[in-house]
Chains A and B, each alone.
Chain A
Amino acid sequence: MFGYVRPRIDRLAAEELDAYRAAYCGLCRALGKEYGFPARFLVNYDMTFLYLLRASVFTPPEPRKCWCPARVCGKKPCIPDPEGYRPVAACTVLLCVEKLRDDVRDKGFFRSLPARLLTLVYRRAWRKACGALPAFAALTRTQLSRLGELEQAQSPSIDAVADTFARIVAGCAADLEDPALRRPMEQLLYQTGRFLYLADALDDLREDCEDDAYNPLRFRFAPKESELEPEILEYLTQLTDASVNLAGAALALLPLCAYGALLENIVYLGLPAVFAAVKAHKFQARAGLPRLMSKRGAPNAERRDT
């Protein structure tokens, strides 16, 4: 996935950072347990947000120490995955494999070789995830084919194009039965998905202009020399800020048992900080964004409480 949905680490309390890392490790463990060791590499910040949301809406289990393959010795705290969180692991596999397939479609034969190889590696995991969440898998296929049609037609509507991806992300909450829970969760995820799509479109704009590939921002704003004018960037910032406001209003309506401050940090501080980094072409270099995890994937490198 993209890694755009992350907290602002400098505004987190030590225990909130620990909880975030424990959720990351919990998702990694759930992926490994359900879909085999290679699936652990699909863990990402975006889906950690979903994992945390589910953990905070249902009564979260006590974090416990789990074995981590990225750590040579000792165990790490992780939020374990009871039955209720399993859809998150399945959603992660489905969304990541679809992203790989998208790369296969978009890039040339040689540039897409790693994605082709990984699609094969995750084929079994993908089939299992399709079996676990058939409705979500069907929704993903429908929306991606809609997205393909819009791309083919070179649609200038950023709303219509972002809507396809946002609906997929919102579909991660479709299994919730209680409407008082499902509706705010869907709205929160819809706006998060929309944010993800717009941030990714802006991040890829330069590359897409050079490759003459489809990007909704190209057709909506017709940038000169692969760069958007400052006032258009401001317009896009306001659009994503409005998404953040809507996502925050939805988050406030969720009955959270825990991690409320952490989730608010991600929505109100993390998303705008990421968009600012994307605007400044700093996101891909990860400049200006504090790292949440160490290079080994073990979230221990920068504990603030030691």
Chain B
Amino acid sequence: MKDPYEVLGVSRTATDSEIKTAYRELVKKYHPDNYSNNPLADLASEKMKEINEAYDAITRARSGQSGYQSGNSQGTYQGAYQSGYQSYGSYRDSNSSGSYAQVRSYINANQLDAAESLLNTAANRDAEWYYLKGSIAYRRGWLDEARQNYQAACAMMPGNYEYQNALRTVQGGYTPYRQSNYQGSGMDTACDICNALLCLNCLCGGGGCR
């Protein structure tokens, strides 16, 4: 196993709060939302596992030394984020008919040619068909085609959250890590401060920090 401090990018002398900050930053960076339908999602999931194990190892070692009790909170993070990667699969399986489920499993395995061949045999071109067609194009990096298909899927089934989410990714939309770390040019500093205060307010539950 790699050095847990190295995995989190902190020194051995870092305080508990520095470690927690570094951990949260990494969790944000490798969050499943950033890798939704991404061909590299498996690598991101592995990375997340490594980060969770490193954080776990450090907090366990430190709690043994200093009596710091944080085992429960770290467990919650792990559970939440690990299930985040898996939830897509379970959601899909429960909503797909036979051949579409097979297409999805090909897509998840990055077997895009097989997925496309099977999809092209489908007689009925419904919203799901367009969504899957868009997903194949997205994984290939063909973003114009992906967007057109996602738009068709959303138009046919406007209330579907999964289709809307997919369309948002191809519109260059929200990615939490990029959003927080690399605001584009021309962002007003005053707005940054207001946003930071608002976020702080939300995190502290609107009142004082506990």
The A-B contact count (CB < 8 A) is 86
Among the listed stretches B74-82, B94-102, B124-132, B169-177, which one makes contact with chain A, having 4 or more residues with CB under 8 Å of it?
A: B169-177
| B2 nearest CB across to chain A (Å) | 10
CA distance A245 to B30 in the complex (A): 13
CA distance A245 to B34 in the complex (A): 8
| B95 nearest CB across to chain A (Å) | 25
User: Per DSSP, are chain A's interface residues mostly helix, strand or loop, or mixed?
Assistant: helix
B152 touches A (CB below 8 Å): no
Instruction: Please give me the residue from chain A that is nearest to B169 by CB atom.
Output: A242
| A62 nearest CB across to chain B (Å) | 21
The answer to whether A238 and B171 touch across the interface, beta carbons within 8 angstroms, is: yes
| B140 partner residues in chain A, CB cutoff 8 A | 163
The answer to whether B141 and A249 touch across the interface, beta carbons within 8 angstroms, is: no
B147 touches A (CB below 8 Å): yes
Within 8 A of A (CB), among B1-51: 29-30, 34-35, 38-40, 43-44, 47
Among the listed stretches B53-61, B178-186, B198-206, which one makes contact with chain A, having 4 or more residues with CB under 8 Å of it?
A: B178-186
| B169 partner residues in chain A, CB cutoff 8 A | 242, 245
A269 touches B (CB below 8 Å): yes
A268 touches B (CB below 8 Å): yes
Among the listed stretches A27-35, A122-130, A147-155, A182-190, which one makes contact with chain B, having 4 or more residues with CB under 8 Å of it?
A: A182-190
A174 touches B (CB below 8 Å): no
| B102 nearest CB across to chain A (Å) | 24
The answer to whether B145 and A159 touch across the interface, beta carbons within 8 angstroms, is: yes
The interface of chain B, by Cβ under 8 A from chain A, is: 29-30, 34-35, 38-40, 43-44, 47, 137, 140-145, 147, 169-172, 175, 177-178, 181-182, 184-185
A-B contact pairs, 30 of them (CB 8 A): A8-B185, A157-B144, A157-B145, A163-B142, A180-B43, A183-B43, A184-B40, A190-B141, A191-B141, A194-B143, A238-B171, A239-B143, A239-B172, A240-B172, A242-B171, A242-B172, A243-B141, A243-B143, A245-B169, A245-B175, A248-B177, A249-B175, A250-B40, A252-B30, A253-B40, A268-B181, A268-B182, A269-B184, A269-B185, A272-B185
The interface of chain A, by Cβ under 8 A from chain B, is: 8, 157-160, 163, 166, 180, 183-184, 187, 190-191, 194, 220, 237-246, 248-250, 252-253, 264, 268-269, 272-273, 276
> Which 3 pairs show the lowest CB-CB distances between chains A and B?
A241-B172, A268-B182, A159-B142
Q: For the A-B complex with A239-B170, A244-B172, A245-B172 known, give 4 more contacts whose Cβ atoms are closer than 8 Å.
A: A240-B172, A241-B171, A242-B170, A250-B40
